[in-house]
Structure 1
Amino acid sequence: MPGSLVGDGSPVPVSAQRKTPVSDTSSPTWTAPLGRFLRTETVGGSLLLIAAAIALIWVNSPFGDSYLALRDFEIGPESLHLHLSVGDWAKDGLLAVFFFVAGLELKRELVTGELADRRKAILPVIAACGGVILPAVIAAVVGWGAPGMDRGWAIPVATDIAFALGVLALTGSRIPTSARVFLLSLAVVDDLIGIALIAILFTSGLAVAWLLATVAAAAAYWFAQQKRITTPWLYVPLALFTWYAMHNAGIHATVAGVLLGLLTRVRTDPGEDYAPAERLVHHIQPWSAGLCVPLFALFASGVPIGAEMLGQVFTDPVGQSVVLGLLLGKTVGIFGATWISIRLGLATRPTGLMWGDVFALAVIGGIGFTVSLLIAELSLGDIHGGEPAEIAKAAVLVTSLIASVLGSALLLRRGRAHRQRNEPTEGVE
């Protein structure tokens, strides 16, 4: 979950594959070349990596105090209960934009995409469940008794789609295209589960009146969609109020983004070139990929990492639970669930993929970033001055790097295997 799902590497929507792409020139904010650049799969992962690297270098430099001062600087109206730190604004506000785009793509996948065909969807759904359950069990067992791990077990359940698809695009170009479909569908289900966990685990002190206000605002948004109203002068205030009401209701405000995304219409009407969800993804995705998610990464990845912190990543129960959950749990969970479901005849292996390819994709599934960092902050940020959260974040960063390197090496090796396999037939007339 998250994180990062679609804001950085979404597929071209089905309708856009049939028609001329939506013109970027209708948006005054992004030029067409920049918009296209920000929609490429490798760019989102690269910007995340750059932002995380800047945060790590900054906080561990002699100017580290300035980073902490900026992250913890509070801004916003106190009367509206929005006097939050810059880090909280990035976590609760900017990330809601990412989750809105994620919700749009989730809706598209469920209605018109890969997950709409239940027979095709069953394998990535099973694989995603295996990649969620086993990491959660491992994290819960390894971190048993550690403060905050009553909810911290959820940290390693999420695969970062931006990084994962970016690694696949960079090093898996010779792998059959079915690999991307499988990984994307798996990540969609994975993020859906991660979003549900955030809503369930981190809802406390529920304010019923504000919850009813959230429902009313969301219902108004849905009604406007059904009535084919298109003006942003209605939708922008409704979206902002839905976010604000959910924030005051005690539910993590980013869930508002997913909710509104799922309520957006994804099918085109007769005579309509593009559905609202498609247009929104087209115009908001560059903001998500180019600004919102990188800024979240900047303020979430600033972990002081020295020899002592690196040691704690591999010796502290919190760090061990994240490392083993992401590296071992994700790999074994995804691959094992896939193998069992195919052996039992519940699903079929994606066209052109061999078991070595599936294993490489399972390793890439261990790349956790956006949603994992968010859950680490939510579950451990208030415990012992935030030290367990810092260890968990460092573990997420270190493990994601390891999974990226291992996954890349495996994908390059699988690419060579596919090339050698295809060479004998390429010269045949």
Structure 2
Amino acid sequence: MARKITLDFLRTEAASGAVLGLAALAALVIANSPLSATYFAWLKSEHILQLGPLLLELTISEWIKEGLMAVFFLVVGLEIKYEILRGELSDPKKLATPVLAALGGMVAPALVYLAVSGAAGGPHGGWPIPLATDIAFALAVFAVAARRLPSSLRVFLLTLAIVDDLGAIALIALLFSSGVVWQPLIWVVGLLLAGGVAARRWKVPAPFWVLGFGLVWYLTVLSGLSTSLTAVAFAAIVPVNGRRRDGQIPLQEAMHDLHPWVAYLVLPLFAFAKAGVSFAGLTLEQAFAPLVIGVALGLFVGKQVGVFGAAWLASALKIGRRPTGSTWLELYGVSLLCGVGFTMSLFIGVLAFPGAIDSPQQVEVKLGVLGGSFLSAVIGAAVLAFAGRRRKESVVDAPDTAR
């Protein structure tokens, strides 16, 4: 059952990669067309939500970043909790290599970025941007390029990406949650504690979970805290034990119901809102600015070096091992795919350099993320495809060798 859920999750993530790609491409085309002014004006337009005494006024860009992306982080939190309690992450021996690889994949990109920014005089504040991996895009490329490769590599990639997401969320908590208004935050903590107690003692109906998440989200926006944090905290209190009546697990139901919406609506909308870069007036100086180069090299060079190096070290020290049935070449291809930062890197870029969506720094962030992610995806796919052909040839040649 758990295996089926994981595979269904992976298939949905992989399939949604095409939608993400089309959304990003559409944003680039529109941002460089006669509709460019309309596109950016739409993202900056303010819209009001009023439900009785509850009132919020945010721009479209903010609604997507703080509203829809909170649902994405809720699903990520549900996934992390499930994998820790019931899935791949429940076995410590299976955790060692991908966890260490994820840590290496966060440290090395930061060092590469800081080295570039230090040498070229770029802004140091962008170092968290290349640390993240986009699960959907990475799995989409893997699904296309690695059809002949062991499924253990896919699980390794997903596990690593989960740890990556957890690290990114922790960074968001530490670095990008300043200026907090404490009164609504105290209410958030109280509601989460009450929900956790209620989940352990009673069978809470689904509508109350929806209402609770909406209220926690609203109070988080008022507090000034990143909604990604409380979304993951809310996921931690969703029950993982099956109901006596039908044996269904609320956490699995929430993952099953929300994941398609996240994969096919939330993430594509975020990509459409954040990937639009106008090249009008773009100079070579800006295209090769330290921020652009630092982010791009952090994703393309830092990720592959950190992930592959940490995985090799874990194996050499015998505290971990390669995914079952895989080769080092295949693992290197997966390490390259970890440099596909895209939506997560863009999200952190918005937090690292707040301001107008078409500001010079935001343009440079987008150029760096798109460039590094594109290189990682194309070369990673090429390596995996080559490894797949080698595996096929070795299988075909095996009977001849035996004779």
Bin of the TM-score, shorter chain as denominator length: over 0.9
Match of 2:177 among 203, 211, 214: 203
Per-residue Cα deviation, 1:193-252 (whole angstroms, up to 9, x for no partner): 011111111111122212211111112222232234342331122101111112222211
Per-residue Cα deviation, 1:144-184 (whole angstroms, up to 9, x for no partner): 49999443210000010101111111110111111111111
Query: Aligned partners of 1:117 and 1:182: how far apart in 2?
Result: 13
Asked if residue 410 in structure 1 is aligned to residue 379 in structure 2, the reply is no
The residue matched to 1:76 in structure 2 has which SS? strand
Query: Aligned partners of 1:116 and 1:129: how far apart in 2?
Result: 18
Change (3 A) 1:37 1:118: closer
Query: How far apart are residue 40 of structure 1 and its match?
Result: 2.6
Share of identical aligned residues, percent?
37
When structure 1 is superposed on structure 2, of 163-172 and 146-155 the one drifting more is: 146-155
Per-residue Cα deviation, 1:241-292 (whole angstroms, up to 9, x for no partner): 1111122222111222211112212233566532111001111111111211
Counterpart in 2 of 1:353?
326
Counterpart in 1 of 2:148?
174
Counterpart in 2 of 1:85?
59
Counterpart in 1 of 2:372?
399
Match of 2:352 among 379, 385, 391: 379
List aligned pairs for 1:96-245, cutoff 5 A.
Answer: 96-144=70-118, 149-245=123-219
Change (3 A) 1:301 1:384: closer
TM-score computed with the length of structure 2 as normaliser: 0.92
Query: Aligned partners of 1:48 and 1:310: how far apart in 2?
Result: 28
Contact 2:277 2:358 survives alignment (8 Å) = no
Query: Aligned partners of 1:381 and 1:37: how far apart in 2?
Result: 33
Query: Aligned partners of 2:28 and 2:55: how far apart in 1?
Result: 31
Counterpart in 2 of 1:61?
33
Contact 1:39 1:285 survives alignment (8 Å) = no
Structure 1: unaligned runs, 5 residues or longer: 1-11, 22-35
Contact 2:108 2:302 survives alignment (8 Å) = yes
Counterpart in 1 of 2:259?
285
List aligned pairs for 1:321-336, cutoff 5 A.
Answer: 321-336=294-309
Query: Aligned partners of 1:412 and 1:82: how far apart in 2?
Result: 49
- Matched to 1:133, the amino acid is V
- Matched to 1:410, the amino acid is V
Change (3 A) 1:81 1:271: closer
Structure 2: unaligned runs, 5 residues or longer: none
Contact 1:147 1:383 survives alignment (8 Å) = no
Per-residue Cα deviation, 1:125-151 (whole angstroms, up to 9, x for no partner): 000000001101221232249999443
Q: CA RMSD in A?
A: 2.6
Query: Aligned partners of 1:41 and 1:275: how far apart in 2?
Result: 21
Query: Aligned partners of 1:376 and 1:412: how far apart in 2?
Result: 31
